[in-house]
Amino acid sequence: MTLKRSLTCAALGALFAGLALPSQAQQLTVVNLGGANGNAQKAAFYEPYTKATGVKIVPVEYNAEQAKIKAMVEAKKVTWDVVEVESPDVVRGCDEGLFEKLDYSKIGSKADFLPAAVTDCGIGIFVWSTVMAYNADRLKTAPTSWADFFDTKKIPGKRGMRKGARYNLEFALIADGVKPADVYKVLATKEGADRAFKKLTELKPHIQWWEAGAQAPQFLVAGDVVLSTVYNGRIDAANREGRNLKIFWPGGIYDLDYWTIPKGAPNKEASMKFIAFSMQADSQAAYARNIPYGPTNTKALAKLDQKVLEHLPTSATNGKEALQFNIGFWADQGESLEKRFASWATQ
């Protein structure tokens, strides 16, 4: 091979190598919270996006550990492209500089989304709810209030609750007679927090804690508990497998999960395109058909039939007496309340 030809080959090789560099964006790592939600995202977002663009989505599951994102960002070794985070973490993470600011001109019109979905560093993907549920095959007297959840004389048996302060303190106050609209005003005071913990203490001997979302319906099916707090999507997933679990909607706490892009993510522009795709009305409607979590793109509702709508936390009936999870409150006071809860739980 002549020197000239070898140089030409080397130049062509360098050119093709250069062209190959953007191929990294032919693959995106999307991190979710797993379970029925992860499966719904795969069907509604990942597979259709790959089919439309050729970009492969590599799903990763985690348990919403913000510390993992923080460690990557601080080490400047970010391997995740798009990450689903819970609402208090999107606010805290944005304040701490863990997430990229979103460019809504590339995602969609802010007017199309629920107001709570639009934040600087994250966009709400869906609305979900923590509710009370029971096994209708085992419990013949259905609960009629959150007071019933705490009344083991009226409805004997164990109660399933997520191990943590979030949601439980709110439910305790509602059970103690506080109106949903006043819960955070009361909980923000020392007396209100004391009142919530006192109410939880009454129930403590009867509580069976769950930590993973799949556990609550399993406890209900097995008869380990008669009533449980649970994510509404988990009840739907169990019922699709032939179970007969029922939801008590009044006093449920609804919240949003958000897409974020970690600061320094390797494929920021490609990540923004994926997020934009998942936020389209058609994608949002497809997600709601796979799991009964409410779309945040309000135009998606018109694409859903009544059978789907009646199971969503955002439906007029189900949302009528619901409480919106207060992100600001938990971002400000969550750390101290979670520490108090951890100490209380071991006593």
Report pLDDT digits (tens) over 9-48.
444 444 334 333 344 469 999 999 988 899 999 999 999 9
Lowest mean pLDDT among 14-28, 116-130, 246-260: 14-28
CA distances from 276 to 11, 86, 233, 273 (A): 38, 19, 24, 5
Task: Taking residues 298-305, report their average pLDDT.
Answer: 94
Higher pLDDT, 165 or 16: 165
Which pLDDT value is given to residue 74? 97
Beta strand pairing call for 27-32 and 82-86 = parallel
Q: Specify the pLDDT at position 25.
A: 66
The residue-averaged pLDDT of 121-140 equals: 97
- Average pLDDT on 309-321 reads 89
Q: Is the pLDDT of residue 338 over 50?
A: yes
Query: Cα–Cα distance between 209 and 31 in angstroms, integer?
Result: 26
Please answer whether residues 216 and 229 qualify as being in contact, where contact means their C-beta atoms are separated by less than 8 angstroms.
yes
Whole-structure pTM value:
0.81
pLDDT tens-digit series, residues 168-188: 999 999 999 999 999 999 999
Q: Are strands 123-135 and 159-162 parallel, antiparallel or unpaired?
A: unpaired
Is the predicted pLDDT of residue 7 greater than 70, yes or no?
no
Instruction: State the pLDDT confidence band at 49, using cuts at 50, 70 and 90.
Output: very high
* Total Cβ atoms within 10 A of residue 101: 11
Q: What's the pLDDT score for residue 206?
A: 98
CA distance 21 to 270: 14
Residue 89 has pLDDT above 50, yes or no: yes
Check whether 120 has a pLDDT greater than 80. Answer: yes
Nearest to 214 by CA among 29, 38, 47, 30: 38
Report the pLDDT averaged over residues 108-120. 96
| Topology of domain 129-254+327-346, CATH | D-Maltodextrin-Binding Protein; domain 2 (3.40.190)
Give the Cα separation of 102 and 275 in Å (integer): 10
Site of tokens 């008869």: 223
CA distances from 72 to 22, 99, 265, 309 (A): 22, 11, 9, 39
Residue 63 pLDDT grade (very low, low, confident, very high; cuts 50, 70, 90): confident
62 has a pLDDT exceeding 60: yes
- At 36 the pLDDT is 85
Average pLDDT score over the chain: 92
Mean pLDDT of the region 137-141: 93
pLDDT in tens, 187-239: 999 999 999 999 999 999 999 999 988 899 999 999 999 999 999 989 988 99
The rounded percent of the chain whose pLDDT value lies above 70 is 93
97/100 Cα distance (integer angstroms): 8
3-state SS string over the chain?
CCHHHHHHHHHHHHHHHHHHHHHHHHEEEEEECCHHHHHHHHHHHHHHHHHHHCCEEEEEECCCCHHHHHHHHHHCCCCCCEEEEEHHHHHHHHHCCCECCCCHHHCCCHHHECHHHECCCCEEEEEEEEEEEEECCCCCCCCCCHHHHHCCCCCCCCEEEECCCCCHHHHHHHHCCCCHHHHHHHHCCHHHHHHHHHHHHHHHHHEEEECCCCHHHHHHHHCCCCEEEEEHHHHHHHHHCCCCEEEEEEEEEEEEEEEECECCCCCHHHHHHHHHHHCCHHHHHHHHHHCCCEECEHHHHHHCCHHHHCCCCCCCCCCCCCEECCHHHHHHHHHHHHHHHHHHHHC
The residues of the chain that CATH labels 3.40.190.10 are: 26-127+256-309, 129-254+327-346
Mean pLDDT of all residues in 129-134: 97
pLDDT at 109: 96
Fold designation for 26-127+256-309: D-Maltodextrin-Binding Protein; domain 2 (3.40.190)
Is the per-residue pLDDT at 140 higher than 60? yes
80 and 265 Cβ atoms separated by less than 8 Å = yes
Where does the pLDDT of residue 114 fall: very low under 50, low under 70, confident under 90, or very high at 90 and above? very high
